Amino acid sequence: MTTHFLGDTAVLLGRSLRHIARSPDTIITTAIMPIAFLLLFVYVFGGAIQTGSDSYVNYLLPGILIMTVASGISYTAYRLFLDIQGGIFDRFQSMPIARSSLLWAHVLTSLVANLISLVVVVGVALVMGFRTGASVLGWLAVAGVMVLFTLALTWLAVIPGLTAKSLDGASAFGYPLIFLPFVSSAFVPTESMPGPVRAFAEHQPVTAIVNGIRALFAQQPVGADIWTALAWCAGILVVGYTLAVLAYRRKIS
């Protein structure tokens, strides 16, 4: 049964990746907005923002990585909605394939596409002066956090992909998530924020994730931030996966 599921998922994943390869504008579009914010904040606002860091691009990059993922996962809902509306799911369900492989193929496609976008954004940041002394293990830890965060948001994106009534409704899911980093430590220290805003910023998931990644890049002790970040990612992943599976069962029942 496991071999059947893995084989079906691999085939469907290949199908989705071929679609992306034929239309690379998806990845380009996903990376454009985070890169635009990176350029804007570093070269326009960076000189006026006091972060206590010698390099603002070093301070900024972790938040831009979060925005990249938030921008990219909206395409998961978009692609899933199109498959459902186009009758692809109905056709696949009439074939002897594992039903769960349909969702996993979309989720893994999102993971691959977002990782490519993240590499592009990091490449641009390096050109702009981003530097880190992080070891291989540090980079692997950053990659692990980003993979877990991407999977968590992707499973959340599956829900509107299955339940939205229109294409605009499905693809708009990621927009609020893109702006969540603005009320966090991604662009400025939370100490500069007024009381209620600061309280929200310091207790939302983006701040913990950004602070954890920033510490890994800077080779500083990660403290409780990395564990808080992992707890947030794991919690969102469990909730998103559970609700997505329930929505999928209702959809195909």
pLDDT, one tens digit per residue, over 15-30 is 777 777 776 666 677 7
Which residue do the tokens 């708009």 mark?
172
Which pLDDT value is given to residue 4? 61
Tokens of 33: 């907005």
The letter for the amino acid at 188 is V
* Res 219: pLDDT: 87
- Name the token pair of 130: 């981003």
Q: What is the pLDDT of residue 18?
A: 77
Contact between residue 205 and residue 232 where contact means Cβ atoms under 8 Å apart: yes
| 136 pLDDT more than 80 | yes
| pLDDT tens readout for residues 65-116 | 999 998 888 878 888 888 777 766 666 666 666 667 778 888 888 888 889 8
218-242: per-residue pLDDT in tens? 888 888 888 999 999 999 999 999 9
Q: CB burial class (10 A; 0-12, 13-18, 19+) of residue 185? A: buried
pLDDT at 124 over 90: yes
Confidence band, pLDDT 50/70/90 cuts, at residue 9: confident
Tell me: pLDDT of 11 over 80: no
Go through the chain and tell me how many residues it has.
253
State what percent of residues in the chain have pLDDT above 70.
Answer: 85
Instruction: State the average pLDDT for the chain.
Output: 84
Q: Which two tokens stand for residue 123?
A: 């490449």
Residue 195, pLDDT score:
87
Q: Which of 74-78, 125-129, 149-153, 212-216 has the lowest mean pLDDT?
A: 74-78
Burial of 172 (0-12, 13-18, 19+ CB in 10 A): middle
- Could you tell me how many helices (H) and strands (E) the chain has, helices first? 12, 0
Confidence of residue 12 (pLDDT cuts 50, 70, 90): confident
First to last CA, the chain: 21
- Alpha carbon distances (Å) from 59 to 51, 98, 117, 232, 235: 8, 44, 19, 21, 26
CA distances 64 to 83, 146, 161, 163, 164, Å, are 30, 12, 25, 29, 28
126 or 220: which leads in pLDDT: 126
Query: Which residues make Cβ contacts (< 8 Å) with residue 37, sequence separation at least 6?
Result: 64, 67
pTM: 0.88
